[in-house]
A and B are shown apart, each in its own frame.
Chain A
């Protein structure tokens, strides 16, 4: 009886530990290596500050930020696709950082504008197509060059793409199609591509990984992920579709009610600096940095040579548009669940 009591007491005592002022609590939604690099660089510059970093996907982070609303344990959220950052901004879960965005590229400033300064763009990555060269050669299939090629029956059962209901990447693809072709036409085209799709994955990065390993012939996803896989040695070729393509903007946000607001602001300023962004390529991150003075990795998809659409984040990031498009997708494209 007493023993039980003592254990509970010990547990309660240990629970009286929480963050102190020279700690920044960071959730990182970028790739682990990049997260590690950023934390290392920051701590080297600010030896008195300890960055407590954990890597979580954007969806997990958003769920956590929502659940913790009012008493957050996170100070700053860095990396990951912009949509969840924008949703958090829309729901008042994040706060304006007030940092200077004048050095940033237009799309990054645009994001800050849409979100009233709550989310600031840190990198951009274009949507693209990847194919496994070995497989297509073996099967004698000509590589795709345009979105329209994916409707061709020669790709039957070879295309893998994520389900927009669960994946932000796939939602970007859906929104890109709508912006390229108009809503009705987009649904027809997506359904046509859908005939060739072997499976709609849950996660946005899964299709390219499957293509890299030869589990599928063709994938749709973000080009910087594909370049990363190719650089690891997989026979993956990256294609910028001829019709033009959409892109994502990675963002950084300060959580509303952050305990270490000063530290969080320091982090945001740090993350937007040109010299810091230039070092992303050292850990094989090939997104385009948002600071106009930052160096771009030679492997990075050159955004200038890609036909980028003028992606309307304000419209397609809003909950209303999102629900409507997803409902149409479910009805007209759907997930036929071919594996069963």
Chain B
């Protein structure tokens, strides 16, 4: 392991000496930086007067000397650890103090031409130095007897903490401090009256004509959506697992569709169907003489759209849980003379409790963070997510208000987490014991089955209608007014001039950017998410709860807040990323990571821990164990994490809107522009193409991850034949 430290130190030193320390305008692979000295290496910079770069290199040199000269392992490890940490500390300090415009603080002390000239953001040299120092520190830490002496585990923990720190906490702090900002300074006392203002928490709608506070609106909507999606998801899951319903495949597709639908599209389709001038409304008005109303605009419309959008998430959570309820427990109940209803009520349902709680929690969080549906359908019904958006981009920009509302939203999410934990308590809900279970799940009793069909089937039909309308809308000239068939929207978006081979459609650029960025972000998200899950499930370390909480944080923060905070944090040295595609990739990775973590935790909890332990006692280290035992067994979880992060990267909008740049525009930002412009046809056509693309990608991923298992079975069958 001494070797590993030395390898990292060597990599660090090499990059300090050979690679440009700062970001270069020409890119790393343009050889110009070697010649012109502007983008100098760390060593060159230190010698040329940028003395503040020296500590990093010095730390690397000292650490190397320590490694080579001190024979006693624990002492060597401790000293190396101290040196590396000091090096990292100085790197961070110089980066935060000396920016492009020179020093930010201590101007009196830091003088001289070179320092006043400032510096650009950190580049490849600085990045690799930092990583080398980090790993030198974590490996040394493990050698000093912490973390069971496992360098891989300690390094992974260190890396993830560093990443979460830089890409979640650092930017979020930028915006949250705004909540305490008053004219010309900061004040703690000002915060509370503003936070508890009746505009946020007011209950006026319960007692009088005034509207409720936005947080109350969000809370109410979130609870209703959480309950509604959980109920609907449960009926779908029950139909799937406990009945012999025939068209399960169709149902399955319907449950996937809303997840891969770009924002706004469901809202738009609902307006066109159920708005005052909508098709369905017109139909009932003509047939039954009902008055055409605007019921869709406001709470009910948003609720309706959210139910459509988020029921699939509840379904996906619940189907696993409903399947997981051990048949033998149900059979046991039936042999105790319970009828099917009693079995369901007193055995199955309570066993599904963690699943129900999870489904509710996800529905709740999705609902209060949802931005697209309230924007399109909310009308006068204000919720936190849209208020935050308009506090930032509205006619009266008020970042302090946005920050306060963001804190309100955050507190709602946190309360939901805590409530879930309390409700579940410490009871055991394990139903998968590792022993083969050969019984059959109890069928539903007739009343329950009827209820499930009566709820789920009309709902499925509605989803089907909504999506048919979307397809229909993309092929007609002007949806609602001129229904003559046309390819115009597709040609405008995705036209190709075949004579020259040029892509003339307006959507191509953003389409390719979106696919590229999502394809890069998805595996990274899965990697970070699953590594975190591995640490949380399989490793014991100090501060694990805080670690878990911090990895979940980014999920609870609304996208708009993340977007703006990313601009604030990463527009300046030391880490300057705005305008690049990296910032989009990073925002997706860290926003979607919590889902990878949750999925990974669920999957990893089902893998018996003795498998890892067997591998370790057989002489494999943690890394080999992960690679050869855990990963191959986590196929479905990896697939889920990949699919989800890929789809999320394509469909997310609120975080992205601030981060897209001319070079790197995203499909959703493009679609939002078109919707604002009233070009529904083009927006819907583009969405339809995205939906088809995502479906194809999901199938492809399923095929890729699935084939490995197939091949194994094939081989098994062959050898079985041979034998």
Contact = CB atoms under 8 A, between A and B. Distances in A.
Interface of A: 1, 4-5, 7-9, 11-20, 25-27, 31-33, 36, 51-57, 59-60, 62-64, 66-68, 70-71, 73, 83, 135, 157, 164-168, 170-171, 198-203, 205, 209, 212-216, 228-229, 232-235, 322-323, 326, 335-340
B131 A9 contact: yes
A73 B661 contact: yes
Given A1-B152, A16-B23, A67-B568, A198 B294 contact: yes
Interface string B374-402: 01001111100010001011111100000
A291 to B, nearest CB: 24
Contact of B393 (A1, A59, A201, A229): A59
Question: Which of B276, B395, B478, B670 counts the most A-chain CB atoms under 10 A from its CB?
Answer: B395
Given A15-B23, A55-B673, A335-B380, A25 B662 contact: yes
30 contacts: A4-B156, A7-B524, A15-B580, A15-B582, A16-B27, A32-B674, A33-B677, A51-B662, A54-B665, A55-B669, A56-B657, A57-B393, A59-B394, A59-B395, A67-B658, A68-B567, A68-B571, A68-B578, A71-B572, A199-B379, A200-B380, A201-B379, A202-B394, A213-B272, A215-B277, A229-B678, A234-B478, A323-B396, A337-B211, A340-B298
Contact of B579 (A26, A67, A73): A73
Contacts of A83: 395
B276 A216 contact: yes
Contacts of B20: 16
Contact of A32 (B26, B585, B673): B673
Interface of B: 4, 11, 20, 23-29, 100-101, 122-124, 127-128, 131, 135, 151-152, 155-156, 159, 205, 209-212, 271-272, 275-277, 294, 297-299, 375, 378-382, 386, 390, 392-397, 477-478, 480-482, 506, 524, 527, 564, 567-568, 571-572, 576-582, 585-586, 623, 657-658, 660-663, 665, 669-670, 673-674, 676-679
B397 A66 contact: yes
Contacts of B665: 54
B299 A63 contact: no
A337 B299 CA distance: 11
Contacts of B582: 11, 14-15
Contact of A64 (B159, B205, B275, B658): B658
B212 A340 contact: yes
A337 B380 contact: yes
Contacts of A235: 481
A63 B658 CA distance: 8
Given A9-B131, A16-B24, A73 B673 contact: no
A64 B567 contact: yes
A24 to B, nearest CB: 9
Contacts of B294: 157, 198-199, 215-216, 339
A95 B376 CA distance: 36
Contacts of B678: 205, 209, 212, 228-229, 232
A339 B571 contact: no
Given A59-B392, A59-B394, A337-B205, 15 more contacts: A1-B152, A15-B577, A16-B26, A16-B124, A67-B564, A164-B395, A202-B390, A213-B480, A228-B678, A335-B380, A337-B210, A337-B380, A338-B380, A339-B298, A339-B299
Q: Which are the 9 A-B pairs with shortest beta-carbon distances?
A: A339-B298, A52-B662, A214-B277, A59-B393, A337-B211, A12-B127, A166-B394, A199-B379, A67-B567
A213 B567 contact: no
B221 to A, nearest CB: 11
A201 B151 CA distance: 56
B677 to A, nearest CB: 5
B479 to A, nearest CB: 9
A53 B679 CA distance: 19
Given A16-B123, A62-B397, A166 B390 contact: yes
A74 to B, nearest CB: 9
Contacts of A64: 567, 658
A23 to B, nearest CB: 9
A168 B395 contact: yes
Nearest to B582: A15
Contacts of A56: 657, 660, 669
A211 B276 CA distance: 11
B131 A8 contact: yes
B124 A12 contact: yes
B163 to A, nearest CB: 8
B395 A9 contact: no
Contact of A12 (B123, B159, B567): B123
Nearest to A4: B159
B704 to A, nearest CB: 19
Contact of A1 (B155, B210, B567, B580): B155
A172 B676 CA distance: 19
Contact of B379 (A209, A322, A339): A339
A167 B506 contact: no
B276 A71 contact: no
B24 A36 contact: no
